[in-house]
Structure 1
Amino acid sequence: MSDWVNVAPAGEIEPGKHQLVDVDDVPIAVFNIDGSYYAIEDLCSHEEYPIAEGEVKDNRITCPQHGAEFCLRTGAALTAPAYEPLTTFPVRIHEGVVQVRDDRWD
């Protein structure tokens, strides 16, 4: 179990943008989507390619390697060639700071 990790002050991540953070050697991208924050592992489920730099439109991200689209809110794969979802992580605002944690081993 990991503790909550500070990402950035709330409001510093602009809508449609992200901030990368390392949590227990896992690269996590935290996105601001219309004022709500969502976190995914920075790896496409199709071929483990970094995905955070992909195009973000609404609540979707497109993998820059093969063009698969994913929902940033749920991690769901929306288009081929990806069929497996992205790994998602809980995000919270605590004392004005966006925080994320890796809860997979709880």
Structure 2
Amino acid sequence: MSRFVQVGRVEDVPPGARLHHEFEEDTVIVLNVGGEFYCIADLCTHDGGPLADGELHDHQIECPRHGACFDVRTGRVTRLPATEPIPTYRVRIEDGAIWVEEPELW
């Protein structure tokens, strides 16, 4: 069963903003895209670099290192050189709090 962890509040992440949260072994990015919240791993599957500073275009995040793009809703690769999707995690909003599904430990 998945465990959810509170990572912030809705008012702290306005549309277009992002929030980083470090779990024991993984770092995730919570993104507010037009009022909808998504959570992805801070990890480009092309070379293992971070996505934290990547530009967000609609629902796609671009890796700042080599330009690979991923859909933040599904993790799907939308532009090479990456070929593997990025992990995504479920997000719940309850009473203004942002809750994220905790990544499973390796």
* TM-score of the two chains, using structure 1 as the length reference: 0.90
The residue that corresponds to 2:70 in the other structure is 70
Q: Which moved more, 1:8-17 or 1:46-55?
A: 8-17
Unmatched runs of 5 consecutive residues or more in structure 1: none
Conserved? CA contact 1:38–1:89, under 8 Å: yes
Runs of 4 or more above 4 Å deviation: none
Output the CA distance in 1 between the equivalents of 2:71 and 2:104. Answer: 19
* TM-score of the two chains, using structure 2 as the length reference: 0.90
The residue that corresponds to 1:14 in the other structure is 14
Q: CA RMSD in A?
A: 1.6
The residue that corresponds to 1:60 in the other structure is 60
| 2:104 aligned with 1:100 | no
* Secondary structure at 2:12 match in 1: coil
